[in-house]
Structure 1
Amino acid sequence: MRRIGKRDIVAAILIALFTGAAFTSPPFQRLQGLSLDILTALRWTMFGDHRDPATSPVVVVAIDGETYETPPFKGSPTQTWTREIGRVLGSIAEGGAKVIGFDVIFPSSIEQSEIPFGDVSFGSRVRGFDRDYLIALRKLSDSGKLVLGEILSNDHPDRPDRAQQLAVKNNIRALNVHTDPDNVIRRMPLSFSIEGQPVPAMAVELAARSLGVKPEAGPTGITSLSGYAVPGAVPNTLTLNFRGMGHDVPAYSFADLRACAEKGDTDFFRRAFDGKIVLLGSILNFEDRKLTSMHLGRGYDGGPAARCALPAPASAAKQARSAVAGVFVHATAVRNLIEHDAVTELPFPLRTILTIVFAAIIAAAACLLAPTGAAITWLGLAVAYAAVAVGTFAHAIALPLTEPVLAGLTALAMMIGYRFVIADREERFLRKSFAFYLAPEVIDGMVASGKMPVLGGEMRNITMFFSDLSGFSSIAEKMTPAELVALMNDYLSAMTDIIESHGGYVDKYIGDSIVAMFGAPAVDPDHAQHAVAAALQCRDRLDELNDSHPAFRGRGLAHRIGLNSGEAVVGNIGSRRRFNYTVMSDTVNLASRLEGANKYFGTVIMASEATVNQSRSAYVWRELDMVRVQGRDEPIRVYEPLAEKSQQTQEQGIRAATYAKALACWRARDFAKAAELFESAGGDDPPCRYFAKRARIMATNPPAADWTPVNTLEGK
């Protein structure tokens, strides 16, 4: 986690304010509607709707495909259906319906037809055809149980024909809907101004008549119905709550009801319509389809309704569709009013504040964390917020969803861009500059603290790595300075890459020598094992360079490596004006002595007993000797790593066992036997040859009685 400054805080605040205000501004108003669509789909997916359609206060009588295919309607123009419509409406009213609303408009009558039929018009031939229908309309209208629909328009108004208007007097209400700029219906108008007076919309009129009250407009412009203040983010509208995705409103086929009336089954009409608000409308695949808030989750053209006289057609099962029949938009509005279940949207100030807060959290995360971590934070917060929003929407309260999520994503991108261009430019320069001198962990600590390095250190258990090229001076004499530098750069680069790949940190280069540590700055509990692995790979890598690299070929370069583990002080050590991140302790000195001790035994790698103990399980070792190095009185056991346990060869195992037996004879003062064993395993093994020579000398000139098997090394 990076350290943030005042400039970062100001940038995060400004980005949050900008993105929050931008995504709730009028140019992005469609996002508010998209939030409703997504919430509607998610709520349906997560919770569904467990209400029984039979409990719905509103039902639909559908002039549907079945009606068009059923006699006597099949093949007949709809203007000839009016008598049957009047009969069915009468049966519905007698069954106890509270009020009936028309979502269909018959703008003309068959009686008005001027098509010639013989020597007169067809209309005059059927004069009186609509009489029964008009009488039914008048009767229902006078009882307050009927409301016809109309479409208000300055250009092309759509109204029932003149005879129907006279029959129902003033019982005509507008069916106009509120369509958003993206052609989706999410809200319904509550009233319309007609001749300067507010007139309730169809849905409000039906709900009011069902409740036996009149809608009231308060001083703030909020419409109330029987004490229910209708919420609306857009003035004079109701935000539709499609809780049941249209499936919660039963739809009765008009053809079945006509047959039921023909049969005289008054009990069915009482069971189906008693106390209900009835909407007569069309449900057709090609007419009056509306995109609503259900279009993402896909809605239904009504729920299952009981049948009376006709068997259900084979295709009666209702399929989910993006666009639903328009009558269910009005039915949903009526149900929302009756059940006080319209959606409450947050007002503009609250939506803006919530969006800004969301963006601010993401901007802060993008300021503190790496881009990947900030992106994960945005995703996690978006999912959590969406879950809260869906849970709230289950209670008909719509929190903004797309605005905060998109504002947060934009704030994330802007904050990352700000960091890349401005805030982190200095940090990148610092990392790039100091990467050549310090370990990445040290640089991370400097950047995270935001402070200059200070003197001081801490005790760590580490493994020191010392290496040095043997006979380098004589080789250097035969090379030009440019050749020497190129050779050393290739050698040191190869060795450093290996050391760092195993988690080591190169402390310094001293000529052709490398001083490195494992276990600091980064904490590494397996530092000894990693140091041994690096030493073995460095040994093999130099052999490869000697064989294949043009600058090395023919020079026979060899190096010695010393390893020692123990406690040491690591940290910033030096003067108050100039210091290095380095290490100090006797652990370091002993590793240096072990590097030099290799030349006595002819070995490449020598490790102390402490390093062996911390990494023994991973490697095959052989004990070389008990030695006393210069500058230390206490003798130590020294070891040579032969190979990883899984890679040990049979020859290595035999040689190590022979060497161990010979060393035991040496320590038991059986020098002749020791010399014999060392010589048998000698061959190309320098330690065996070294000990065989010493054993022959000791066999010829036995040491004093107080002799101890400790090899005191005189040089470094």
Structure 2
Amino acid sequence: MTLAALPWRAMVAGSLFGLAAALADVYDVSGFLTNNELKAVNAQFALRGPRPPTAPVVIVTIDEDSFAELNMPWPWPRALHGKLIDIITRGKPAAIGLDILFLEPSAHGPADDEALAQAVARSGKVVLAAGLSEVRESGWIKEKRDLNPPLPLLREGAAAWGPVNIITDRDAFVRRTRLTLDFQDREWPGFDLQIYRVAKSAGIPAAPPPQRPEFLINYAGPPGTFPRVAYSRVVSGEISPDIFEGQIVLVGATTQILHDVFPTPYAPLRTMPGVAIHANIIDTLLAGIPIRRAPTWFNTGFAVLVGAAAGWIASAFRPLPAFLLVSGTALVFLAGTQAAFRWGRLWLDVLPVPLALLVPYVGVVVKNFAQEQLEKRRLSRFFSPSVVKEIVRQKDDAGLGAGRRRMTVLFSDIRGFTSMSEKMEPEEVVAFLREYLTEMTEAVFRHGGTVDKYIGDAIMALYNVPFEASDHAAQAVRTALEFQRRLAPLAERFAAKHRGTLACGVGINTGDAVVGTIGSQQRLEYTAIGDTINLGSRLESITKDFNVPVVISEATWLEIKELFETRYLGEVTVKGKEIPVKIYTVLDTEKTAV
């Protein structure tokens, strides 16, 4: 295919839809594409499977067993949390993160707060949690944020503190985090970033933090991926503090009672505790393996390119090969997105590219189908159904362009029909011609001919066009003989109704002619021109002079003499010819091969 022959319109339409698909995915007002894009990320995590955690994280769980063992309502006394911190600190941890909010004085009195504050100060490794609430003013779109830090008494001895707010997507899943949070024109380090800093200062190997504060959490696996120990077992002395040596210890609720659970890619149904989400964030940070989302320009540009490719594929190939190519391209892309996610930690938008492939393909296929149906209806005026099917299948290679070739032409006419039709009503003439031409056209098509045109009751048919047929002369002769057989019952009905005699004359000639789509810019027609065609027309007109139904030229006779019984009629001089032409008639008998 040359550059000029490329289906530019389909390619441009495909690329524009690719652009539309990508932009719709970015600026998705309805949420349909966004929700499905987020589900695709869940699927990518599931296909990747769990990975071994790299960070030394241990979770001390406030779970159902601890509630049962301690037999105390929540919130528990802060002195008990202080006891927990003292036990963990004896194990020499790298950092302790308390995923518990201490925003108000203890209900158990100031001594309770003092006990926790002293334990926090003695440890020097504790990171406290702060709350960052977001509220919307009534009647206004403007949002307000309130930062709720831990009690000043607790903050004084803490290694650090930071907001613990979990970021949820529009489907309530937690897939991403933000290391800093904006409040009052200041970026406040978050809970996880503060733990990362304390652990790093304690000697835990740590990759540099991401340049962008927001990233996709590289979840290690479902709940239970990180080691756990029950809160009650630690404070009861059942667990040795040695298990915390060099560990990042996170303390938080895992029970459903405290409602600190969220759906995540690895826990869409049974949910994951917030403290386990923090464990995954810290693991992602320390290992330096956040998942990056591909920039909008990349997703958009790629969708535009594949949309153009889909338009070209659908225009350049038949539907089945095009479908296989488009489907194969979509599968390769999906496999590529999974590979990029698994090994490159890159999130490529999944939906725009398949949409950019599918919709232009379907659009072009539907358009081509509609055009083919129109073309079939147009061509069916001239060609048999089998020839029409082949022309449409071959498209540009069907040979409909004008060119010289050897062929056979057939002309037929009802003798004296003009004078007979003058005695008939116009509606009767039309009805008869419809019946007659239908019968004769079926005969032409049956023997591989092409109806060039109707001129009143006259028929011009071509053979060996548009496709090669070695026996084209024999095809024309068989058509002429079948004309006579099909005319007989028509003639009987015509005589009974109109008291006239029907006879059909057929002239056939074989030779070279120019055949193809010929005409003006305003109108084109598939036809043949040349001396061969003119002689065929003259032969039809002299059938009545010799009182025979069929007259063929010597050129045609040489092609069919071994197949049909013929009779030599003589030489005639026809209009436009200086040299006499030898002519023959064909008897309604085809020779039997010996």
Same fold (TM over 0.5): yes
Q: Which among 384, 398, 407 is matched to residue 332 of structure 2?
A: 384
* 1:509 and 2:509 correspond: no
Q: Which among 250, 257, 273 is matched to residue 325 of structure 1?
A: 273
* 1:258 and 2:232 correspond: yes
* 1:152 and 2:150 correspond: no
Partner secondary structure for residue 100 of structure 2: coil
Q: Which among 498, 519, 528 is matched to residue 582 of structure 1?
A: 528
The offset of 1:213, in angstroms, is 7.9
The offset of 1:149, in angstroms, is 1.0
Q: Is the 8 A contact 1:378 1:408 kept in 2?
A: yes
Partner secondary structure for residue 79 of structure 1: coil
Q: Which among 391, 398, 415 is matched to residue 347 of structure 2?
A: 398
Rounded Cα–Cα distance in structure 2 between residues aligned with 1:531 and 1:387? 58
1:340 maps to a residue whose letter is G
Q: Which among 432, 450, 457 is matched to residue 487 of structure 1?
A: 432
Rounded Cα–Cα distance in structure 1 between residues aligned with 2:441 and 2:49? 63
1:401 maps to a residue whose letter is V
Partner secondary structure for residue 132 of structure 2: coil
Q: Which moved more, 1:330-339 or 1:538-547?
A: 538-547
Supply the RMSD in Å over aligned alpha carbons: 6.3
Q: Residues 177 and 550 of structure 1: is their aligned pair in 2 closer, same or farther, counting only changes over 3 Å?
A: farther
1:60 corresponds in structure 2 to 59
Structure 2 counterparts to residues 270-289 of structure 1, below 5 A: 270=242, 273-285=244-256, 287-289=259-261
The offset of 1:77, in angstroms, is 0.6
Partner secondary structure for residue 152 of structure 1: strand
Rounded Cα–Cα distance in structure 2 between residues aligned with 1:574 and 1:398? 57
The offset of 1:150, in angstroms, is 1.4
Partner secondary structure for residue 128 of structure 2: strand
Deviation by residue 1:306-365 (Cα, 9 ceiling, x = unmatched)? xxxxxxxxxxxxxx5285333333222212111111122334444444444444445666
Q: Is the 8 A contact 1:470 1:560 kept in 2?
A: yes
Q: Is the 8 A contact 1:571 1:581 kept in 2?
A: yes
2:528 maps to a residue whose letter is T
Deviation by residue 1:208-252 (Cα, 9 ceiling, x = unmatched)? 2222289xxxxxxxxxx96635153xxx3233233x454583252
2:250 maps to a residue whose letter is L
Q: Is the 8 A contact 1:31 1:402 kept in 2?
A: no
Partner secondary structure for residue 269 of structure 2: coil
Q: Residues 172 and 505 of structure 1: is their aligned pair in 2 closer, same or farther, counting only changes over 3 Å?
A: same
TM-score normalised by length of structure 2: 0.67
Rounded Cα–Cα distance in structure 1 between residues aligned with 2:83 and 2:489? 103
2:201 maps to a residue whose letter is G
Deviation by residue 1:48-97 (Cα, 9 ceiling, x = unmatched)? 23x335x55434333234444x3234xx2123365665555555444554
Q: Which moved more, 1:274-283 or 1:502-511?
A: 502-511
1:149 maps to a residue whose letter is A
1:63 maps to a residue whose letter is I
1:102 corresponds in structure 2 to 98
Identity of aligned residues (%): 21
The offset of 1:457, in angstroms, is 1.8
The offset of 1:524, in angstroms, is 7.8
* 1:138 and 2:121 correspond: yes
Ranked by relative contact order (alpha carbons within 8 Å, sequence separation 6 or more), the top structure is 2
2:291 corresponds in structure 1 to 343
The offset of 1:203, in angstroms, is 1.3
Q: Is the 8 A contact 2:413 2:505 kept in 1?
A: yes
Q: Residues 556 and 493 of structure 1: is their aligned pair in 2 closer, same or farther, counting only changes over 3 Å?
A: same
Partner secondary structure for residue 434 of structure 2: helix
Q: Is the 8 A contact 2:13 2:311 kept in 1?
A: yes
2:44 corresponds in structure 1 to 43
* 1:228 and 2:208 correspond: yes
* 1:239 and 2:216 correspond: yes
1:150 maps to a residue whose letter is A
Deviation by residue 1:413-451 (Cα, 9 ceiling, x = unmatched)? 99999x99xxx99x99x9699769766799989x969xx
1:172 corresponds in structure 2 to 161
The offset of 1:98, in angstroms, is 2.1
Structure 2 counterparts to residues 162-241 of structure 1, below 5 A: 164-165=154-155, 168-169=157-158, 171-179=160-168, 185-192=174-181, 198-212=187-201, 228=208, 230-232=210-212, 236-241=213-218
Rounded Cα–Cα distance in structure 2 between residues aligned with 1:279 and 1:524? 86
Structure 2 counterparts to residues 354-373 of structure 1, below 5 A: 354-362=302-310
Q: Residues 6 and 573 of structure 1: is their aligned pair in 2 closer, same or farther, counting only changes over 3 Å?
A: closer
Q: Is the 8 A contact 1:105 1:160 kept in 2?
A: yes
1:571 corresponds in structure 2 to 515
Q: Which among 68, 74, 77 is matched to residue 78 of structure 1?
A: 74
Q: Is the 8 A contact 2:55 2:286 kept in 1?
A: no
1:508 maps to a residue whose letter is K
Q: Residues 363 and 630 of structure 1: is their aligned pair in 2 closer, same or farther, counting only changes over 3 Å?
A: same
User: Which is greater in Rg?
Assistant: 1
Q: Kindly tell me the number of residue pairs found equivalent between the two proteins.
A: 556
Deviation by residue 1:84-118 (Cα, 9 ceiling, x = unmatched)? 65555555444554222122325457x62xxxxxx
Q: Is the 8 A contact 1:56 1:250 kept in 2?
A: no
1:402 maps to a residue whose letter is L
2:577 corresponds in structure 1 to none
Rounded Cα–Cα distance in structure 2 between residues aligned with 1:593 and 1:390? 74
The offset of 1:483, in angstroms, is 1.9
Q: Residues 637 and 132 of structure 1: is their aligned pair in 2 closer, same or farther, counting only changes over 3 Å?
A: farther
Q: Is the 8 A contact 2:14 2:356 kept in 1?
A: no
Partner secondary structure for residue 61 of structure 2: strand
Rounded Cα–Cα distance in structure 2 between residues aligned with 1:478 and 1:190? 99
1:656 corresponds in structure 2 to none
Rounded Cα–Cα distance in structure 2 between residues aligned with 1:544 and 1:274? 109
1:712 corresponds in structure 2 to none
TM-score normalised by length of structure 1: 0.57
| Structure 2 gaps, min length 5 | 134-143, 551-555, 572-580
Rounded Cα–Cα distance in structure 2 between residues aligned with 1:506 and 1:353? 51
Q: Is the 8 A contact 1:612 1:639 kept in 2?
A: no
The offset of 1:283, in angstroms, is 2.7
Q: Residues 278 and 555 of structure 1: is their aligned pair in 2 closer, same or farther, counting only changes over 3 Å?
A: farther
1:683 corresponds in structure 2 to none
Structure 2 counterparts to residues 442-457 of structure 1, below 5 A: 456-457=402-403
